[in-house]
């Protein structure tokens, strides 16, 4: 079984959002810093309307290159950032809307980016899902066989 992303705290956590996820990103970034984590913020920096790929791509690249331990992406539905991040060959971005899903995307899919729909989950649930994501290790075994078939 692999280590949990929580056990790789020497690397920063990459975080990004569009305007719809900006407030959650700001709050989660502060929350993580208070817990002692280093957070690399890839924007956006305001509520002004922006294009989510402009922030999802650099967040995903940071995780894919190994610069960051894992990533967190926010947008209104989380679909846009998940689709964008998953265009990167080394990324498995999971869209999470409840805590059990956050656990399963790590346990069974070895996701390295959690995507959270800020218009559909409360901030405390978003934080709970991030905690779960960070503390869950990839189960491997039969799931590793499946995950290894994802890349084109």
Residue 53 zone, left/alpha/beta (φ > 0; ψ -120 to 50; rest): alpha
Give catalytic status of residue 75 as yes or no: yes
Residue 144, phi then psi, degrees to nearest 5: -65, -40
Cα 92 to Cα 86: distance, rounded to the nearest angstrom = 6
**Adjacency order of strands within the sheet including 93-95:** 39-41, 13-17, 70-75, 113-117, 93-95
| Catalytic, out of 57, 61, 75, 111 | 75
State the catalytic residue, choosing from 19, 57, 88, 108.
Answer: 108
Closest CA to 91 of 82, 100, 103: 82
Asked about 135 being catalytic, the answer comes back as: no
Residues annotated as catalytic (active site), given as ranges: 75, 108
């Amino acid at each position: 079984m692999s280590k949990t992303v929580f056990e790789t705290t020497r690397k920063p956590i990459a975080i990004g959002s569009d305007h719809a996820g900006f407030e959650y990103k700001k709050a989660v970034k502060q929350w993580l810093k208070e817990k002692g984590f280093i957070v690399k913020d890839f924007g956006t920096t305001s509520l002004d309307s922006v294009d989510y790929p402009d922030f999802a791509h650099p967040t995903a690249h940071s995780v894919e290159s190994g610069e960051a331990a894992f990533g967190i992406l926010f947008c209104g539905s989380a679909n846009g950032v998940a689709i964008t991040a998953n265009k990167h060959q080394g990324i498995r971005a999971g869209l999470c809307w409840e805590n059990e899903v956050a656990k399963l995307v790590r346990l069974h899919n070895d996701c390295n980016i959690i995507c959270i729909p800020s218009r559909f989950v409360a901030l405390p649930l978003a934080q709970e899902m991030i905690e779960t994501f960070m503390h869950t290790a990839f189960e491997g075994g039969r799931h590793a066989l499946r995950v290894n078939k994802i890349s084109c």
